[in-house]
Chains A and B, each alone.
Chain A
């Protein structure tokens, strides 16, 4: 037996054990497990986790039933859990338990839960939460996806170990350097329950030895506090290997684990920095057999996100009214916003968090801002598809119970038709009870949990052709870049006191005002070229963006297409459901996101790739009306924000309708022959009615739009900002011209597209490509 350099790698009987000692529920460690499973060199033959054999099997079986497997990616609903009855009391509590029975004159099982908990620290039940950000769940999930055995090596039944407060580095700093993190921190995490943990660690080591006899490469994940002693036991030759009882999959045994859906107020504490980040990790994590490449550590999911979320909250909270009409509280909030951001960063610094967490942000907001702002902030944080109670055939739920007499303790209730039990929920290491309690009291529970059924329209899952997400990202990135660049060219009207030059003429208003005040002053107007940055609070201005890739007039065998979004699917995310329904009835159910002009290409090598299922459309131009968001939830926000006015909407959208509407406008201002209109001008004219104050046109070199296009825009009170295609990298433009439409299924529950396996391989592009370039304003992460 030998141990090489890495503190997380042990060689026993010639087999290699890759360990991921972790801080539970933190993405850094789940990502490390995923990385080991994705890389061919380290891919394990078996998985071992710090759960009992039956517990591990119960989780594995449920994941398999959920569809997690080798052939496709599947998201883990947020959040599921398993609840089990506890039978054991700590040996040190024996005398106290006897005294309690004498005092009360009752047997232990007749004594109320609260008393048992406060006197003996005993909970009747314990919970196991299937959080996507937990390394144990990630390991079992990877085991299902790789189709390899999953072993639980811990004790199945034991008294609940005491969790002592431990001081160690923020687990957020472990991203990409888990081994270093463990090496540095594990000595601080030794202070465990001396009554329970030594037996567990011995058992884990003996069982691991048994597994290592059978498999040459094993991945093991456990709490960081256990690893040092497990490792020492593994290196002890006298410790005999132990075999795991293979009857763990016995259905009778599995029944002791009751499946539950977890209340968001409880779940939020087990989702790393915030539910949103965990959901995004769940969305972007790599399937070991399909993606084959782990998520890069510079992925936005791993980066600080607090400023983005705060800005999102500002946009939502301060929108709708002019600054002048804000009430006193809104004005106070606005003036405190800078201080809030500073406080969030300082708070994270004082708490030694490498990145501000949900609690940093929420705690600071609560002490700096109004209640309404905090509600908006909370809603932004909670914007993920929470699993509804009584769904997936699970009738039981884990809910927050009234704290009552046990001030400061977090008591939860597990209920189903038969029973209703109270028990204490253990908090995360590094998270104080006060934090949990605060969340428990304050969090606004999503509607699905307050039993309101908003889904008036039946949800559907559709399998058809979707654009490839990296292309969506690139298009979004370049279009936003175009909007920002065109804004820099803006000319702003100014008024100056006349000195020597009349410039663009007399400014009558300013002159008359001055005269009325009795001042002998004359004012003239001027246009100044100013550098304007895109307004971060308005992400709709500048759209549509019309891309013209060539200046040739001939149409050839090219045609227009309409790529649409189904508005019915946005309904379930609509905050104002009735308003959405009215709009859909009035305008139609399909919204045009992109109108490309070009032709289908059949002889492209990618199209002929055996794993490619779809087609290629090569563009000469395109009108881009709305960002291509990865979720319908974002589309719902977009339509609410733009009031359905910035996107062509129809039950049967077609280029013909857009063209007819544009022609009506053109003929009203010019007697130009319909056939003489160039396709480029027609594309721009079709986009003008959907612009806000201006639209952006990206033109090829030496190309000029026809004068009637500008006249039509002016007639509709809009301006056209033109910038050159040369401002964009040639490589990006070439990629953007090719739309690969590929087969995929829209997963309604997860609110995301599941592509057929192998598409990424055929295209040679990772699904996360260009993700980091998506503008903040349009990000989901």
Chain B
């Protein structure tokens, strides 16, 4: 039996695949110690209380998902991600069916990431939970309280959570406004952990770790970046995603210029040089000044 097949009370079901952060080119998480500790504290089960289900709230690009990947790595648990959007239904949260590729079978049961995490004792992460419609969230009620089970009408089974099962969700701040989550879910998603933009020194470490090629010029580039940012948005700090995209584009602009300078008709390209301030300024103009904040 392959690893994505599971026998559930004599029914053969297909399970979801876990996400492997390491395979996805994950980089080390910088900072966020307090937030990680809060999640780990919430996940400690007490004799009279099941583990809590934290909800991460923050602006786009501040690093909510990175934090969850780090937690999965730290706890060494498989991570199952369910991406929230408006078309997710209650059944998508439990179990779906599809026409089988197997000639001997008509239909296959596909267990959702949530149900799979419950069976396998992994972490279920619902990203953008604020985008789910309230009625789609109903199955979560029994999962997140002391019952810790999930009923699937389609499957005709009750899935009990493995003791190692943990739950976490994330949403953007804007999606949480005007009571997007119904009370029965909101009261179960606790603690609510606000993810703020990282401080300046952490952002600088992120840039230096991601772009080792620019390390020699990083001090002057970073200094210029802060000057540009202070003029552009003195009150709101940049998010890590915006910063990483900016320096990524800066690097690409420098590489592109190096390619242009190469002799025509040869495949020789100038050795890759660190980007200059002008590359950063062009990238900054492209990403922020022309498009406005948080459009990256």
Selected from A346, A404, A406, the residue in CB contact (under 8 A) with B42 is A346
Of A282-290, A334-342, A571-579, A678-686, the segment with at least 4 beta carbons within 8 Å of chain B is: A334-342
A363 located at the interface, meaning its Cβ lies under 8 Å from any Cβ of chain B in the complex: yes
Q: Please choose the segment from A3-11, A319-327, A347-355 that sits at the chain B interface, where 4 or more of its residues have CB less than 8 A away.
A: A347-355
- Does B258 belong to the interface (CB within 8 Å)? no
Let me know if B41 and A349 touch, CB within 8 A. yes
In the bound assembly, the distance between CA atoms of A339 and B37 in angstroms comes to 16
Question: Would you call B197 and A367 a contact (CB within 8 A)?
Answer: no
Residues in B with CB closer than 8 Å to A347 are 37-38, 41
Q: What is the CA–CA distance of A368 and B55 in the complex, to the nearest angstrom? A: 10
How far is it, in angstroms, between the C-alpha of A432 and the C-alpha of B37 when the chains are bound?
Answer: 13
**Among residues 171 to 194 in chain B, which have CB atoms less than 8 Å away from a CB atom of chain A?**
183, 186-187, 190-194
> 24 pairs across A/B with beta carbons < 8 Å?
A118-B200, A328-B183, A332-B186, A332-B187, A338-B48, A338-B49, A339-B49, A346-B42, A346-B44, A349-B44, A350-B37, A350-B41, A364-B38, A367-B38, A367-B54, A367-B193, A368-B191, A405-B230, A405-B234, A406-B200, A408-B199, A408-B201, A408-B202, A434-B199
B38-79 vs A, Cβ < 8 Å mask (1 yes, 0 no): 101110101011001010000000000000000000000000
Residues of B contacting A328 with CB < 8 Å? 183
Residue of A with least CB distance to B200: A407
Q: Which of A345, A363, A406 is most buried by chain B, counting CB atoms within 10 A of its CB?
A: A363
The bracket for how many chain B residues form the interface is 20 to 34
Q: Which of B46, B191, B237 has the most CB of A within 10 A?
A: B191
B residues in contact with A434, CB < 8 Å: 34, 199
A510 within 8 A of B: no
Q: B125 → chain A, closest Cβ, in Å?
A: 18
Sample of 9 more A-B contacts, CB < 8 Å, known A332-B187, A408-B200, A434-B34: A118-B200, A342-B46, A349-B44, A350-B41, A368-B191, A404-B234, A405-B234, A432-B33, A433-B199
| Chain A interface extent, by class | 20 to 34
Q: A343 in the interface, Cβ–Cβ < 8 Å?
A: yes
Q: Are A432 and B42 in contact (CB under 8 A)?
A: no
Chain A residues with CB below 8 A from B33, complex form: 432
Please indicate the chain B residues that have their CB under 8 angstroms from the CB of A408 in the complex: 198-202
> A426 in the interface, Cβ–Cβ < 8 Å?
no
> Contacts of A343 on B, CB cut-off 8 Å?
41-42, 52, 191
Contacts A351-B37, A363-B38, A408-B199 given; indicate if A335 touches B187 (C-beta within 8 A). yes
Q: Answer whether A336 and B41 are a contact pair too, CB < 8 Å, given A342-B46, A367-B192, A407-B200.
A: no
Are A364 and B199 also in contact (CB < 8 A) when A346-B41, A350-B41 are? no
In the complex the two chains form, what is the Cα distance from A588 to B54 in whole Å?
A: 53
Cβ-defined contact, A336 with B40, below 8 A: no
Question: Interface on A for B, CB 8 Å cutoff?
Answer: 118, 328, 332, 335-336, 338-339, 342-343, 345-347, 349-351, 363-364, 367-368, 404-409, 432-435
6 shortest A-B CB distances, which residue pairs?
A408-B199, A367-B191, A346-B41, A347-B41, A346-B44, A350-B41
B201 neighbours in A (Cβ, 8 Å) = 408
Query: Which residues of B approach A to under 8 Å, CB–CB?
Result: 33-34, 37-38, 40-42, 44, 46, 48-49, 52, 54, 183, 186-187, 190-194, 197-202, 230, 234, 237
Q: A339-B52, A343-B41 are in contact. Are A409 and B199 (CB under 8 A)?
A: yes
Q: How far is the CB of A99 from chain B (nearest CB, A)?
A: 10
Knowing A342-B46, A347-B41, A350-B41, say if A363 contacts B34 (CB, 8 Å).
Answer: yes
Say whether chain A's binding surface is mostly helix, strand, loop, or mixed. Answer: helix
User: Shortest distance in angstroms between A541's beta carbon and chain B's nearest beta carbon?
Assistant: 28
Would A336 and B234 count as touching, CB distance under 8 A?
Answer: no
The complex places the Cα of A351 from the Cα of B33 at a distance, in Å, of 10
**CB of A122, distance to nearest CB on chain B (Å):** 16
Which residues of chain A are within 8 angstroms of B194 by Cβ–Cβ distance? 367
CB distance from B182 to the nearest CB of A (A): 12
A500 to B198 Cα, complex, angstroms? 74
**Which A residues are CB-close (under 8 A) to B49?**
338-339, 342
User: Which residues in B have their C-beta under 8 angstroms from that of A332?
Assistant: 183, 186-187
A336 to B237, CA, bound (A): 33
Contact A435 B191 (CB under 8 A): no
B139 to chain A, nearest CB (A): 21
Neighbouring B residues of A368 by C-beta, 8 Å: 190-192
Task: Give the chain A neighbours of B48 by CB distance below 8 A.
Answer: 338
Contacts of A346 in B (CB 8 A): 41-42, 44, 46
Which residue on A lies nearest to B235, using beta carbons? Answer: A404
- Candidates A336, A406, A409; contact of B190 at CB < 8 Å: A336
User: With a CB–CB cut-off of 8 A, which chain B residues contact A364?
Assistant: 38, 41, 191
Q: Which residues of the other chain, A, contact B52 by a CB distance below 8 angstroms?
A: 339, 342-343
**Closest beta carbon of chain A to B173's beta carbon, Å:** 15
B-chain residues with CB within 8 Å of residue A432 when the two chains form the complex: 33-34
> In the assembled complex, which residues on chain A have CB atoms less than 8 Å from the CB atom of B187?
332, 335-336
CA of A343 to CA of B45, assembled, Å: 10
Nearest B residue (CB) for A345? B46
Give Cα distance in the complex from A350 to B36, angstroms: 10
B residues in contact with A350, CB < 8 Å: 37, 40-41, 44
* Contacting residues, chain B, for A435 (C-beta < 8 A): 34
A338 to B145: give the CA distance in the assembly, Å: 13
Which of chain A's residues has its CB closest to B57's CB?
A: A367
Q: State the Cβ distance, A417 to closest chain B Cβ, in Å.
A: 30
The chain B residue sitting closest to A435, CB to CB, is: B34
Contact residues in B for A407 (Cβ distance below 8 Å): 197, 199-200, 237
Contacts of B40 in A (CB 8 A): 350
In the bound complex, how far is the Cα of B193 from the Cα of A342, in angstroms? 16
Tell me the smallest distance from the CB of A11 to a CB of chain B, in Å: 43
- For the complex, what is the distance from the CA of A339 to the CA of B50, rounded to whole Å? 9
In the complex, which residue of chain B has the Cβ closest to the Cβ of A364? B191
- CB distance A367 to B37 under 8 Å? no
Q: Which residues of A contact B202 (CB under 8 A)?
A: 408
Assembled-state Cα–Cα distance A516/B202 (Å): 72
Separation in Å of the A307 CB from the closest CB of chain B? Answer: 14
**Complex CA distance for A47 and B200, rounded to whole angstroms:** 42
Min CB distance, A374 to chain B, in Å? 12
Alpha-carbon separation in the docked complex, A349 to B45 (Å): 12
